[in-house]
Structure 1
Amino acid sequence: MDVGGDEVYLRPRARLMSTLGEELISNERVALTELVKNAYDADASLVLIRFIGPLVEGQGAIEVWDNGHGMSPDTVRGTWLEIATSFRQRAPRSESLGRRVLGAKGIGRFSAARLASVTELTTRRVDGSETTLLINWGDFVEGESYLDQVPVNWRVGDPAVFAPWGEADLLLDDLLERYGAGAASASTRVSNPWGGDGSPHGTLMRLNGLRQTWDDYTVTLLKRSLSRLLPPPAPTELSAPETPDFAIFLELPSGELEHHSGFVAASEALAHPDYRLTGAVDAEGRGRFTLYLAAEESTTEVDLRLPSEAVRPACGPLEVDIRAWDLEAQSLRRIVDLDVGARNISEVRKLIRGNSGVALYRDGFRVQPFGEPGYDWLEFDQRRVNNPTMRFSNNQVAGFVYITADGNPGLQDRSHREGLIDSKEYEDLKKVLTTAVSALETERYRVRRKQAAPGGQPRHPSGAGGDRGHGVFSSFNLEPLRKVVGERYADDAVLGRALDEATETINESVKKVQEILSQFSRLATLGTLVDVVLHDGRSALTRIAYVLQELDDLVNGIPSDREPLKDELRDIHAGFASQEKALDRLFTRIQPLSGRRRGRPRSISLQQTIREAVSVYEGEIKKLNVDLVIGGEDAMVTLDPGDVNQVIVNLVGNALFWLSTQEENEERQVRIDTGRLPDGSVEIVVSDSGPGVREEIRDLIFDTYFSDKEDGIGLGLSIAGSVVQDFYDGDLALMSEGPLPGACFRATLRRSVG
């Protein structure tokens, strides 16, 4: 198509403002957070969010005041009114305090449109004029006007709101005089919120005609979200940025919402975790962490080990403070007596759940929506489904992760300001954090195992309550007793509280039993599912192999003068053949999980059977550059090859995982030695050159569901040990020393080995 020399231009309609506002800002909490971030970027030390009733949709107002440096008329005209301005990209740090600015995309003004129908912006710099804008966002929706055809009311004049003894001066001065002790701000003096010569300055955003009704629930969510904008003071051992000199005050009208008024602060419950992990990961992926265990009042130092793909995580260096709780009544009783704003176990549990989530802080300020309750970006709940004995759920964890814009440039915000762009850097960040949390879960398992009831089974973590369903569980019910107590002893608070705690304990115990039964049910279902996959999958592979043979015959029959076609078909054949082999290896790898009946024992070469078992790891061995040696004395044995497969696949799989945590320049070896002992039994020894098994978990690794891997299910060693013991009257043991410096496992088969 011929193109002429004329040029045309894109021209947005005014209603684009409404469309973008709804798409970029997901809810009112996020919108208010964006306005608070604007105040932070303006070097404010205090932000007042003031609700003016009636707080129903279409009425009422919200005022956002700050004592930042304010804007001049030129800045309002040339920056605030300019959509997607590059101003923050040119000036990444605030002008007075040098804060790393949080807004960089120039879209913060859409937050005002999300919150209310009309926005009145009033702002003033020190000793400057006062600028006022009045924007009715409905004007952008009505009609067919273009964006540059909708006028905005504009006034520049002498200070009024930010004048000495003006509204801002009186309001903030009165606020600090009444609540100054809670400001937590060294530079905000009760007698003078303006600093310097005392001339008022800052910005007021009046938002009239609310777009949603604000009630106790929505205000509670807002307060909770704002409370996590700034992290609590970081542990002294971390070099995380200090909590900025910044305070947020929430003011609600008198009435049922008035109790929410006050300075926003992190819940005191966060200061009393059952388990805590603090430490840092450097740019090379090396991490050192301190684990605190409340039950033992002890600390433990651990090193972080990452799989090889993330030895040098692309996310960059970071610092971590993870806090976790057990939610059972017996674990929460110690917190009830502390001054955390909770009167009983149920309220403590509610506080913990309400403040749960792993928050991400860039240069000391939270990145949305990380840290919101229910935003399970590290997939804790899924990990817990796979292994409820070991793993935390998301509502048990409150985390604080510290990064910087300069040190972590690959972690970029999405355009709508919620979450990070999916990238290698983001995936590495999640990998690093789940690996760190796994270390905390391991220590927690160890502590809980020591506290296990007689019989040796660990207490299984769970939440509280839950539906007991029908059948045997329905009889565990204290409701008849509760009814009698309510009728005859309604005024006996002690008896009522004791009954509540007894109910909690029964609910928790029932849920633990249900979890265990559910886990075994899933395992039985998995075995059946794997059987179906293997049967149907191998049938399909047989057909694929037949078609590939036909394709090979077809290629051989093509005349030599059509060599390019033959080459192309050979490439296709090679590709399909490679995938066919990959699927065959995959099926071999999952075969130990099947619910198959064991095969009839037969005479086999032990080392040959081992070679066939480790072939499923051929690609991984090559990728990790592992030197695998099978040595010792071969033995002809009479047993089921599938049993050997299960033992070897699990032991070698573990060895390869831990070798992957080694630096690439370190030697990686796996050695499998076999032999027959004088008493006729058979021995298989699998050793590696990896980091070995930490001393503190050596007595845990054979427990069913225990795993020291971040996503481990904890069944491998348990399955291997069961095969050795149940079918061959043998044992699987972790040796203190072996041929190689890492872990060394010895399987001894004593019965039915020929």
Structure 2
Amino acid sequence: MKKELKIRPEARLIKTIGEDLIKNPYAAVVELIKNSYDADSEIVTISIELTNEYMYDKKQKFLKFTIEDDGEGMSLETIKNTWMVPATSYKVNKQYSSKKKRVVQGKKGIGRYASAILGDFLRITTTDLNGMTSIIEIDWKQFDDGKFLDEINIPYECNRTNLKSGTKIEIYSSIEVYYDESNQQYKDSVNWNENQNNLLFKELRKLLVPTNKSNETFEIIFSNKGLDKFGIKDKNEKIEPFPVLDSYEYRIKGKISSNGKGLLFYENKNFENSNEKIELDLRNTYGNICGNIEVDLRVFDLDSDVIQNLVNEQKGKEEKLGKSEFKALIKEFSGVGIYRNLFRIRPYGDHDFDWLGLNARRVNNPTMSISTNQVAGFVSIESENKSNLIEKSDREGLKENENYDNLKKILLDVLSEVESRRYEFRKNTKRGRVVANNIKDTVRDVFSFDDVNNKISVILHKANIDAHIIEKVQFELKQEEIKKNNSLKNIEEVLAMYEAHAALGKLVLYVLHEGRKPMQIIGLKLNNLKKSLQRFIKTKDENIEQDIKKYNEDSLSQLEKLSNLFKRLDPLMITRLSKRKEVNLYQNALNNYELFKEILKRENIDFEIQCENKELFIYGRDEDLYIIYSNLIENSLYWFQTTKQIQKKITISIYRDNNYFYIDYKDNGIGVKKEHVNLIFDPGFSTKPEGGTGIGLTIVGQAVSRNDGEIKYIRADEGVYFKICFKDAQNE
């Protein structure tokens, strides 16, 4: 007959749950405040003070932390069956508070044990709605004595009183006495200081959502007194949430529902009555939308002139901030916080916690993307049951599941709506970095002496200089410009080479993936060849000889595939700009398809080349067409991944009309938004949520231009439509 064993935990398990799981005193206080909220309290008071108590067989001084509320309190039964039960499922099953029907915060059933972080002794005085007052005392030191959990006795008393309902938690931290040799006297030492006091106060301010739309009453009072000898100033204040900064330049707010539909409103404070409505439809983008979400994001420009305008706008204020103080203020309040009901989920919203990866996006594209110190805002999420956004047991963030990943993607989508509009505004107003539409023209402008020539001529004419001398100066400047043109050509060649190498870098990943299969087959055939050779040497069997020949032929066939694969990259492996030659448009498109064939097949993307006349030639450069196709196809692949569309297709149409050759590139993806059409060829412009480099289509435009062509984006009913036009140089 089988016998049974029982798990018998040591008492220190409770302290492990509290101290080791919830790692700091600020989180411990927050957990106790959440318990007060769950008890339908309207006001919670946190106080820190010195006290004299008879404890451990003598009267001594303690630093006492008190958390007191006016909630429904706990009955003795609740203490026995809930508070004293680690990891209780009580709140999981309850879900809502008794009277105010608040969504309960603490569901893990362990947060209360974090009180051991603050001190060694705990006293709870709680009065329930029937006037029964219970007092329990816990000496946390007992839990370190090697005893088993069921050997720890917790003293309590319970009596009827006239006290109002509520709970008072008192936590006592021992005061150490040390000898100060410099002053030759004994001094007290506490495990609390001014910095910790300020951090707790700041944490409490960040705990509450900046805008409480529920209008329910829940106040927190924070006080400490009599601690000045430890360098801690007296404080007695009602906790107010951090102000939501009104000095923003751009703002987006609204809701994304659990069905994937979003209604947002965008504001640019540089325009009066700016309130653009934005509708999002993410139903085909993300599987689980993680419940209803509310967002309010405020974005700042940190340019020197913008900050100066903020300084100048401080009219009538007694204490005015300077530029550096304004920047410091924005930095202090920056960050995107996540709130559930009234409370922030730590550490989201801390200015140094870049959970959305904004800084990395900005490194990739500083013109377009914003960094974490440029945005302040909050995101409200629903309960764990509705959103599946689950807090970690250590209260340090949310579990990183699919819903959490989708939350981040959704917020980056929302933020990209701001970034694209901000980019266009800054471009039109020439604010910040001035980005040229055409790199080639910009470089040529640098080497042009026309403006200098004209200005010098005007100055010389005004000075009544002889016309013959002026003509001579103009001639010398023109000659210098001609000399510099050689340097200009070299720079243009280098730029073209870098563009080819950028396209090559993108294609290498696809080539490696496509080349992996032939290499695996060759490895297998060589292994079989080795075994067959060993058997043939021993037996001279003709059948084995035929197998050897077959293995050899198969290996050579796969090697030829690899060779052809790398040959397709030859046009991009240049060290200088190649000379123009006749390029077959159909064959070039086919070669590009071969590079992407495997990934297109794997992603179930149909690819069609429509070309009735397969003998259409342009006088141009092979590598430039590779640059064009590789960037366009790579963009299609990326945006196809963001949609759940079943039938995906890329079509390339090649034809001639009069003295022009045309290439129409189309896909049936998500296309380009109307407001972005005039921006897509700008260097740095990108709508990829994770922050693209924004140079792909710019490089395409340069490659087309180098071959005397033009590229236009055509509005279509679905997907993208690029029309590329090349002149027939032979018939000009």
Describe the shift of the 1:312–1:19 C-alpha distance in structure 2 as closer, same or farther (beyond 3 A).
closer
From 155, 158, 161, the equivalent of 2:157 is 155
CA distance in 2, matches of 1:590, 1:21: 60
CA distance in 1, matches of 2:506, 2:261: 41
**AA at the equivalent of 1:112:** S
CA distance in 2, matches of 1:257, 1:231: 27
Q: Name the counterpart of 1:684.
A: 663
**AA at the equivalent of 1:12:** P
Q: Name the counterpart of 1:654.
A: 635
Within a 5 Å distance, the mapping from 1:7-406 to structure 2 comes to 7-52=4-49, 60-141=63-144, 143-159=145-161, 200-209=164-173, 213-233=191-211, 242=214, 244-253=216-225, 257-258=232-233, 261-297=236-272, 298-304=274-280, 306=282, 310-336=285-311, 337=314, 343-405=321-383
CA distance in 2, matches of 1:340, 1:748: 63
By how many angstroms is 1:625 displaced?
4.9
By how many angstroms is 1:642 displaced?
3.1
By how many angstroms is 1:221 displaced?
3.0
The answer to whether 1:427 aligns with 2:405 is yes
CA distance in 2, matches of 1:307, 1:584: 44
Q: Deviations over 1:363-399 (max 9, x none)?
A: 3432232222322221111111211211121122222
TM-score norm. by structure 1 comes to 0.72
Q: Name the counterpart of 2:490.
A: none
Q: Name the counterpart of 1:508.
A: none
Report if aligned partners of 1:702, 1:718 keep a CA contact under 8 Å in 2. yes
Q: Deviations over 1:480-518 (max 9, x none)?
A: xxxxxxxxxxxxxxxxxxxxxxxxxxxxxxxxxxxxxxx
Report if aligned partners of 2:207, 2:241 keep a CA contact under 8 Å in 1. no
Report if aligned partners of 1:534, 1:591 keep a CA contact under 8 Å in 2. no
CA distance in 2, matches of 1:364, 1:583: 61
By how many angstroms is 1:423 displaced?
1.5
By how many angstroms is 1:545 displaced?
5.8
CA distance in 2, matches of 1:702, 1:111: 56
By how many angstroms is 1:285 displaced?
2.1
Describe the shift of the 1:405–1:534 C-alpha distance in structure 2 as closer, same or farther (beyond 3 A).
closer
Report if aligned partners of 1:277, 1:323 keep a CA contact under 8 Å in 2. yes
**AA at the equivalent of 2:292:** P
TM-score norm. by structure 2 comes to 0.74
Count residues with an aligned counterpart. 618
CA distance in 1, matches of 2:561, 2:388: 34
Larger Rg: 2
Give me the identity figure in percent.
30
Is the partner of 2:211 in helix, strand or coil? coil
Is the partner of 1:228 in helix, strand or coil? helix
CA distance in 1, matches of 2:249, 2:507: 44
Q: Name the counterpart of 2:708.
A: 729
By how many angstroms is 1:729 displaced?
2.7
Is the partner of 2:386 in helix, strand or coil? coil
CA root-mean-square deviation: 4.2
By how many angstroms is 1:95 displaced?
0.7
By how many angstroms is 1:245 displaced?
2.2
Describe the shift of the 1:23–1:638 C-alpha distance in structure 2 as closer, same or farther (beyond 3 A).
farther
Q: Name the counterpart of 2:480.
A: none
Unaligned runs of 5+ in 1: 165-199, 235-240, 459-519, 560-575
Q: Deviations over 1:403-453 (max 9, x none)?
A: 212663422222222222221111111111111111111111112112215
CA distance in 2, matches of 1:427, 1:295: 34
CA distance in 2, matches of 1:450, 1:526: 32
Q: Name the counterpart of 1:517.
A: none
Q: Name the counterpart of 1:547.
A: 523
Within a 5 Å distance, the mapping from 1:667-682 to structure 2 comes to 668-679=648-659, 681-682=660-661
Describe the shift of the 1:154–1:274 C-alpha distance in structure 2 as closer, same or farther (beyond 3 A).
same
By how many angstroms is 1:102 displaced?
0.7
Q: Deviations over 1:294-341 (max 9, x none)?
A: 122412222335595x34435233222212212334333455528798
By how many angstroms is 1:601 displaced?
5.5
CA distance in 2, matches of 1:113, 1:356: 32
CA distance in 2, matches of 1:97, 1:581: 75
CA distance in 2, matches of 1:587, 1:80: 69
CA distance in 1, matches of 2:21, 2:565: 43
From 625, 630, 645, the equivalent of 1:644 is 625
Describe the shift of the 1:671–1:533 C-alpha distance in structure 2 as closer, same or farther (beyond 3 A).
closer
Which structure has the highest strand share of the two?
2
